[in-house]
């Protein structure tokens, strides 16, 4: 999968951890007042940052070398947030004043990608921070990192691209045995999981309706139902599904209820109450550590009138998105699809950790003072 020089670089760095005692790498208890001191002394962070370096390097290698994508530097301020607090949103935008203008910190890079694809690029990607304002918990940070990509094409073209990316990340982890041994809470579980993924064919798929029915058959916990065609599956539900399906690889949940997902996702014309989207669910490791949704993807609305209808259905003011609607009216417009992988979620899953705060150098948590 990787060329010999790239693999050699990973193996060389990993070898430097071979003779060091695992006890030196125990993760410190998080203390926001003294965390910066832990960063200067604790071997856990030395190994974690090396691992994060290669997750980033693999991302660049996979998208740019293997798929000829282009890494795009984007803005960090926007008037148009991609996850407004609609019916199914669990993210809250962080508003700021930029001069005299109302603006927001970027919660996703998607809106910056779509216009660029119309200029002839087949795929663009980035590895950038996203900022969101909801209360932090074991699954949510107020600043986290996304690897996001957007392609010209359908969601069907996106599935193999994402699955190949997950396998590339797991392949890199398999080369970092010494680092995994030092900082995974359960190295054996980590190795077994990444071996299962690298050996797997395409990841299984279940529809959102099938997933809801399976949860109902087993007591109904994990589904939030606001109205007909307005359901969500909670993180608890995702974990229960992983257990009920008894899979040792991630699996897709496809075609969520249209009004419970972001307005820009294209509705399925055969089933207008469904969106053309999917979440990739990771089975939790080590008997219940981090798992659930780690990748989200979808096909974008490609008709201006349909996009206006979706905004209205979700009660979202169209004014900040007039440019996005106008994009669909351009003569060179073509359908795009994209995804985002939460880096901290992936790492927390791979290292059998229970809190994504523990796999980032500088956790930013709302209403908690941290330094620097």
For residues 229 and 368, the model is more confident at: 368
Instruction: List the structure tokens of 268.
Output: 């399925």
pLDDT at 157 over 80: yes
Is the pLDDT at 295 greater than 70, yes or no?
yes
Q: Is residue 51 part of a domain?
A: yes
204 found inside a domain: yes
Question: Is 208 part of a structural domain of the chain?
Answer: yes
State the pairing for strand pair 205-207/251-254: parallel
The answer to whether residue 315 is domain-embedded is yes
Mean pLDDT of 190-197: 96
* Domains held by the chain: number: 1
Per-residue pLDDT at 288 exceeds 90: no
* Residue 65 pLDDT greater than 70, yes or no: yes
**CA-CA distance, 340 to 323, in Å (whole number)?**
22
Cβ–Cβ < 8 Å for 107, 131:
yes
225 pLDDT band (50/70/90 cuts)?
Answer: confident
Banded pLDDT at 289 (limits 50, 70, 90): confident
Residue 364 counted as domain residue: no
Nearest to 355 by CA among 107, 53, 30: 30
Do the domain assignments include residue 371?
no
In a domain, 366, yes or no: no
pLDDT of amino acid 91: 82
Give me the half-sphere count of Cα atoms (radius 13 Å) on the Cβ side of residue 370.
Answer: 18
Model confidence pLDDT, tens digit, residues 105-146: 999 999 999 999 999 999 999 999 999 999 999 999 999 999
The pLDDT of 67-85, averaged and rounded, is 91
**At 31, which CATH number?**
3.30.930.10
Residue 224 has a pLDDT of 87
The residue range of the domain holding 278 is 4-359
Q: Please check the confidence at residue 287 and state whether its pLDDT lies above 70.
A: no
What is the predicted pLDDT for the residue at 256?
96
Please tell me whether the overall predicted TM-score, pTM, comes out greater than 0.85 for this model: yes
pLDDT at 261: 93
Q: What are the distances in angstroms from CA 265 to CA 275, 326, 335, 336? A: 6, 16, 11, 10
Share of the chain above pLDDT 90, in %: 92
Q: What is the mean pLDDT of residues 314-338?
A: 95
pLDDT at 227: 67
The 10s digit of each residue's pLDDT in 51-60 is 999 999 999 9
Query: Is position 325 within any domain?
Result: yes
Buried b (16+ CB within 10 A) or exposed e, 257-266: bbbbbbbbbb
For residues 90 and 73, the model is more confident at 73
Is the pLDDT reported for residue 228 higher than 70? no
């Amino acid at each position: 999968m990787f060329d010999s020089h790239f693999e050699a670089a990973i193996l060389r760095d990993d070898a430097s951890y071979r003779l060091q005692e695992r006890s030196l790498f125990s993760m410190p208890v998080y203390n926001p007042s003294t965390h910066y001191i832990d960063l200067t002394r604790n071997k856990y962070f030395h190994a974690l940052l090396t691992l994060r370096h290669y997750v980033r390097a693999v991302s660049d290698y996979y998208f740019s070398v293997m798929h000829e994508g282009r890494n795009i530097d984007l803005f960090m301020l926007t008037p148009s947030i991609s996850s407004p607090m609609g019916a199914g949103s669990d993210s809250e935008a962080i508003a700021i004043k930029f001069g005299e203008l109302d603006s927001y910190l970027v919660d996703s890079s998607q809106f910056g990608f779509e216009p660029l694809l119309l200029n002839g690029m087949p795929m663009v990607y980035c590895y950038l921070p996203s900022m969101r304002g909801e209360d932090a918990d074991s699954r949510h940070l107020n600043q986290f990192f996304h690897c996001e990509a957007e392609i010209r094409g359908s969601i069907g073209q996106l599935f193999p691209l994402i699955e190949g990316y997950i396998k590339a990340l797991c392949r890199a982890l398999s080369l970092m045995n010494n680092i995994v041994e030092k900082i995974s809470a359960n190295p054996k579980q980590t190795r077994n999981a990444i071996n299962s993924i690298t050996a797997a064919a395409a990841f299984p798929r279940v529809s959102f309706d099938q997933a809801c029915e399976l949860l109902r058959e087993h007591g109904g916990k994990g589904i939030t139902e606001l109205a007909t065609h307005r359901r969500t599956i909670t993180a608890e539900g995702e974990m229960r599904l992983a257990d009920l399906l008894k899979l040792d690889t991630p699996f897709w949940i496809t075609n969520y209820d249209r009004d419970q997902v972001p307005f820009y996702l294209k509705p399925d014309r055969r089933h207008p109450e469904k969106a053309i989207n999917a979440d990739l669910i990771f089975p939790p490791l080590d008997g219940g550590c981090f798992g659930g949704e780690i990748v989200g993807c979808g096909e974008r609305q490609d008709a201006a009138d349909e996009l206006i209808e979706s905004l209205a259905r979700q009660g979202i003011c169209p004014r900040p998105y007039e440019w996005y609607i106008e994009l669909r009216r351009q003569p060179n417009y073509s359908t795009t699809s994209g995804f985002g992988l939460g880096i901290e979620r992936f790492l927390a899953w791979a290292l059998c950790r229970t809190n994504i705060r523990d796999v980032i150098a500088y956790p930013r948590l709302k209403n908690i003072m941290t330094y620097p």
